[in-house]
Chains A and B, each alone.
Chain A
Amino acid sequence: MIPTQYYLLLSAAVFCIGIFGVLTRRNALIFLMSVELILNAANINLVAFSFQYGNLSGQVFALFAMGLAAAEVAVGLGIVLVLYRNFSDIDVTEATTMRW
């Protein structure tokens, strides 16, 4: 059996990749994908721990998390779409009419 630490390391790596993407990418879609990576990192954890403890709540919750992630992407894409219509670009750093 693979020790739980390995899953933790994997999920931490995925989480950091996600954060890195969030910080460096200016394309709204890639931003979204990075967020998905973060969510999936959490899912890896949930499933791994669920396996370790032998109870199912983690796995079931991971299913819920996936559903929510899909819904989040749906809303996100909608917003990116209207962003494109208003600013003619999906660069997230373009929309800066409000600040300070």
Chain B
Amino acid sequence: MTAFDYAPAIALLPFVSFLVALFGGQYLPKKGALAGIAATAGSLVLSAWVALTVAGGQTYNEALYTFTAGLETFDLHLGILIDPLTALMLLIVSFIALLVHVFSLGYMNDEGETGLPRYYAGLGLFTASMLGFVYADNILMAFMFFELVGLCSYLLIGFNFREAGPPSAAKKAFLVTRFGDYFFLIGVVGIFVTFAGATQTPGLFAGEGSFPVVAEHAIVDGATEGLNTFGFEPQTWFTILGLLVLGGVMGKSAQFPLHTWLPDAMEGPTPVSALIHAATMVAAGVYLVARMYGFYALTPTTLAVIALVGGFTALFAATMGVVKQELKQVLAYSTISQYGYMMLALGSGGYIAAVFHLTTHAVFKALLFLGAGAVIIAMHHEENMWEMGGLKDKMPVTYYTFLAGSLALAGIVPFAGFWSKDEVLYEALIHGFGTEGGLGTVFLVAYAMGLLAVFFTGFYTFRMVYLTFHGEARTETAKKPHGVRWNVKGPLAVLGILATTIGFVNLAPVKKLTGLEVDFLHKWLLGAEGSGWEALLTGYEHYEHVLHDGPAHVLVGEPLGATGTLIASALLSLGLAVAGVLAARSLYKVPEPVEHTDKLGSIKTLLMHNYYQDEYQVWLATGFTYPLSRAADKFDQGVIDGVVNGISSVSLFSGSRVRRLQTGVVTNYALFITIALVVLLVVFGLTGGWF
């Protein structure tokens, strides 16, 4: 028996905990929490075992159960694909899920919430679906679990269904992500139809006969036999398919314009937010792109779209984060923005950078959410930052871990976020310079947006930190916060240490400068020769080859020489991040910060207090940042929300009209039937030429 034989249990364990909590939760001492903790711990151990096995050079790609061995068409089956990417993601998901379960003991049980079995059942199913999604070996199975993830998020976001906000937020999350999922579904069907003639296993992600590989043969070698591209050029048709699947990705990963559900989803319990944002639902979209990267790498148009959407989302969401009042709202927009970075990286050929950022983000965002949860417990469920202040001394563990997470988020050296964000931007930059034609320009534009977002990130992150923890307590609650127990502090401490250190798993810049072999993640994902993984064709080695030699021709260009570009890029992003932090410091690290700094008088005072500030920075904050942010906010609330709400109310309205057809009078029914029949007879009689 090897680790892979136990792989199904990784997803099954949380599923069992779901059943236990659902049916037996009422009778258990912690209402199902312990089952969940045990199950996720088991998953974590198994994932670690699997990861070790993968480190030993083994991979796994097997069908477990076949639903339909099509007569002459194709198979639909469940299967497991485990390669280094999967192993890494399994570790992240089960780890975060475990911490969230432990934290929930403090956040839910200790606070005496009701409906806990339902809560833990939801968490269990959520984790199980995400794990199933992660190691799905074909796109149909991925879609099934993708849907389940969406369903669970609906149940968990709407947990406090008696209040006004959560049910509508849950509905919105569900509708918006479903909207994207339908494009995904069409994409899945399209992929099956397209590749069914060329391979028996069109849905697979990896190996010969999988759709990315067949598509590659079609484009690179011109082997289009058996493909059904509906009369399009393969290149064009693959672009369409890629964009359709991308619809689902944009919904789940909250990319513009389908991001609106995510801030509303803050209505759910805070541990759920942590799970959604750090490891499960939102990560699912980006993970899917990484999973089928071999397909996307083939079509420059989709790469450009991904990069642009990512860059724009990163900037857009970061500006929105600046004006939010509630702690969790700020974090929500930061999530959108950070996933934008990952999309940017994927679009611009920085596959490893994206996975790296996914990893570090999972850690520090989980940390920030759990920290926010701790603050919310302490503040008796008050979330408005303006009601806080001065919590630094009263809850030091929370403060220092939160600070670590914030530094990571803002991208300050040497915290985790710096390394990954820097690599994202660096990859976009060098590929932008190196790639010929429009694609290179797109990369540079996306890079510019990503770079600008760095400043905003630093700004809103530290605005949040200063408002929450510094200064003087602005309310009575903040003067006497409620204490938290080990089950809150424990996860925070673990994550705090990780957020500080996890960046060291991939010190690619350091390697370039010094030649030390410290880019472990890079090696992990490279898929070099002799690792048994080559046959799956999902290693970066292969992707790099596709990117270079495929139609995209993504090349590296270093305008300032190898070292120069590296250092320039790093300094630029670090500088902007620091500038953002300092701008926030200047405005908010005061005993009594002012809500909106649009009063010029107060800015003058601020200037006097902060001798090292120059006027430019202040203008940046007040004359540029706030108007832009407000405009973005208005657009978000007005136009996009309006469209979402409009569609649902139009549907319901037409539903209420349609049912009026059923008048209840049977004679009317006879009349309608006769009229319909006569209309059909006349129309078809005229077109069929009966008369």
Contact = CB atoms under 8 A, between A and B. Distances in A.
A92 interface: yes
A37 interface: no
A23 B664 contact: no
B674 A100 contact: no
A93 B668 CA distance: 9
Contacts of B670: 22-23
Interface in A72-100: 92-93, 95-100
B172 to A, nearest CB: 28
Contacts of B1: none
Interface in A1-57: 19, 22-23, 26
Contacts of A93: 665-667
Given A19-B674, A23-B674, A92 B664 contact: no
B253 to A, nearest CB: 41
Contacts, number: 28
A96 B273 CA distance: 50
Contacts of B664: 96-100
Contacts of B666: 92-93, 95
Nearest to A98: B664
A99 B674 contact: no
Nearest to A99: B664
Contacts of A100: 659-660, 662, 664
Given A19-B674, A23-B674, A99 B663 contact: yes
Contact of B671 (A23, A98, A99): A23
Nearest to B670: A22
A29 B667 CA distance: 13
A33 to B, nearest CB: 14
Nearest to A34: B670
A22 B666 CA distance: 10
B662 A99 contact: yes
Interface string B647-691: 000000000000110111111001100100000000000000000
A26 B662 contact: no
A96 B671 CA distance: 16
A22 B663 CA distance: 17
Contacts of B663: 96, 99
Contacts of A26: 667
Nearest to A97: B664
B320 to A, nearest CB: 43
Given A19-B674, A23-B674, A92 B667 contact: yes
Interface in B430-464: none
Contacts of A97: 664
A96 B665 contact: yes
Interface in B58-80: none
Nearest to B658: A100
A99 B464 CA distance: 56
Contacts of B667: 22-23, 26, 92-93
A91 to B, nearest CB: 10
A96 B664 CA distance: 5
Contacts of A96: 663-665
A26 B231 CA distance: 58
B447 to A, nearest CB: 57
B674 to A, nearest CB: 6
A84 to B, nearest CB: 15
Contacts of B662: 99-100
A31 to B, nearest CB: 8
Contacts of A98: 664
A76 to B, nearest CB: 13
A98 B660 CA distance: 12
Interface string B270-300: 0000000000000000000000000000000
A22 B671 CA distance: 9
A97 B666 CA distance: 12
Contacts of B674: 19, 22-23
B691 to A, nearest CB: 15
A20 B671 CA distance: 10
A99 B671 CA distance: 16
B198 to A, nearest CB: 51
A44 B670 CA distance: 23
Contacts of B671: 23
A98 B659 CA distance: 12
Contacts of A19: 674
Nearest to B661: A100
Interface in B625-667: 659-660, 662-667
Interface string B213-248: 000000000000000000000000000000000000
B675 to A, nearest CB: 10
20 contacts: A22-B674, A23-B667, A23-B670, A23-B671, A23-B674, A26-B667, A92-B666, A93-B665, A93-B666, A96-B663, A96-B664, A96-B665, A97-B664, A98-B664, A99-B663, A99-B664, A99-B665, A100-B660, A100-B662, A100-B664
- Name the 6 nearest CB pairs between A and B, nearest first: A99-B664, A96-B664, A100-B659, A93-B665, A22-B670, A92-B666
Given A22-B674, A26-B667, A96-B665, 14 more contacts: A19-B674, A22-B667, A23-B670, A23-B671, A92-B666, A92-B667, A93-B665, A93-B666, A95-B666, A96-B664, A97-B664, A99-B662, A99-B665, A100-B660
Interface of B: 659-660, 662-667, 670-671, 674
Interface of A: 19, 22-23, 26, 92-93, 95-100
